Amino acid sequence: MSGRQSGRPTLEQVAARAGVGRGTVSRVINGSPRVSEQTRTAVARAVAELGYVPNQAARALAGSRTDAIALVIPEAEARLFAEPYFLDLIRGVSAELAEADKQLLLTLVRSEQERQRFEQYLAAQRVDGVLLASVHGDDPLPDRIRELGLPVVMNGRRTEAEPVPYVDSDNIGAGRAAVAHLVGRGRSRIATITGPFDMYVARARLGGYRAGLTEAGIPPDETLVSAGDFTEEGGRRAMRELLDRRPDLDAVFAASDVMAAGVRGVLREAGRRVPEDVALVGVDDSPVARLMDPPLTSVRQPIEEMGRTMARMLIREIHESTEAAPVEPRRHVLPTELIVRESS
């Protein structure tokens, strides 16, 4: 009737051709050791001759696992982040999943309605686990998914004490490294432009900034801190405030490259040279940083590596959830790296 998959061979047919039973073919396909070498070869030949590929739906139904995982990206955040962020993350996740022979289901969540629909998908048992990119401080999704009994790994965390397994980069170290570098360049009136405080990443980078100052023997000064929102326009706004309040500043640590681009524009308009008058450091090491004039010193995060680590962790969680082994929540914090360019 449907024509399309009419000719596709089944396990049964492979079994018949190899002169063995269904169970045996299944064992060979799934790499069970309980098969004689001779039988294995015979089955392998039949599989090759017929071009057999196991039907995924049947496998999922009988075995209650899908060999697929979902990666959820909240649309709102997708626009905030330095653009290649999510693509790099996807790249890492995808590479690791390919090695494990698992599929990646990508879900962009645009609205509350879509979030609910996504929960339906999860309930329909389409995936074995979930990867969450960029969660806000009060995001209920991670907990909801766990209630459904699905393993989850997040990128970043919601709070200092995050109960859900996650992979994060060392954002405190990022702030600290930036400040140490600026101090090393002889700067002492170092300002910072932060992200929104409902995101842990923003608080962490600010914390690192303060720690860096303290370590250098410079007392942190709140008049040198201005809140941005990770957008270029937010960076501009925060920089103007800063310039009003502290015209004597000699360096700025912007918590993202995109904000640093805004800062750079304001400095140009104000007639301040970079780096001579004001040194500038961003975070992300995005393509934007390389193309800025002058090229921007920036703290690099190992985004692709974070993706890989997340996928690895999730796969392990999936394994262990089957074995019902109770495991303490895992966390990984990957190191960041300062990339020095001409802006500092």
Partner DNA sequence: GACTAGTGTGGGAGCGCTCCCATACCTCTG
Partner DNA sequence: CAGAGGTATGGGAGCGCTCCCACACTAGTC
Q: Which parts of this chain interact with DNA (CB under 7 A)?
A: 1, 5, 8, 10-12, 19-24, 26-27, 29-30, 33-36, 38-39, 52, 54-55, 58-59, 61-63
Cα–Cα distance measured from residue 272 to residue 49, given in angstroms and rounded to the nearest whole number: 73
Of 124 and 161, CB closest to a copy of itself: 124
> Among 66, 169, 194, 226, which residue interacts with a copy of itself (rule: CB under 8 A)?
66
Taking the complex as a whole, the smallest distance from the CB of residue 300 to a copy of itself amounts, in Å, to: 16
Binding string, 175-214, against a copy of itself, x = CB under 8 A? ----------------------------------------
> How many chain residues are in contact with a copy of itself, going by CB under 8 A?
56
Per-residue H/E/C for 135-170: CCCCCCHHHHHHHCCCCEEEECCCCCCCCCCEEEEC
Residues 6+ apart with CB under 8 A from 241: 226
Region 19-58 residues binding a copy of itself, contact defined as CB under 8 A: 51, 53-58
List the one residue from 191, 288, 303, 311 that touches a copy of itself (CB under 8 A). 288
Residue 131 zone, left/alpha/beta (φ > 0; ψ -120 to 50; rest): beta
Quote the least distance from Cβ 9 to DNA, whole Å.
7
Is the CB of 33 or the CB of 217 nearer to DNA? 33
332 phi and psi angles, rounded to 5 deg: -135, 130
Q: Is 126 in the site for a copy of itself (CB under 8 A)?
A: yes
Beta-carbon neighbour count of residue 42 at 10 Å? 18
- Residues in contact with 225: Cβ distance below 8 Å, sequence separation at least 6, in sequence order: 191, 192, 194, 206
Cβ-based burial of 303 (10 A; exposed 0-12, middle 13-18, buried ≥19): buried
Q: Which does 327 bind (CB under 5 to 8 A by kind): a copy of itself, DNA, none?
A: none
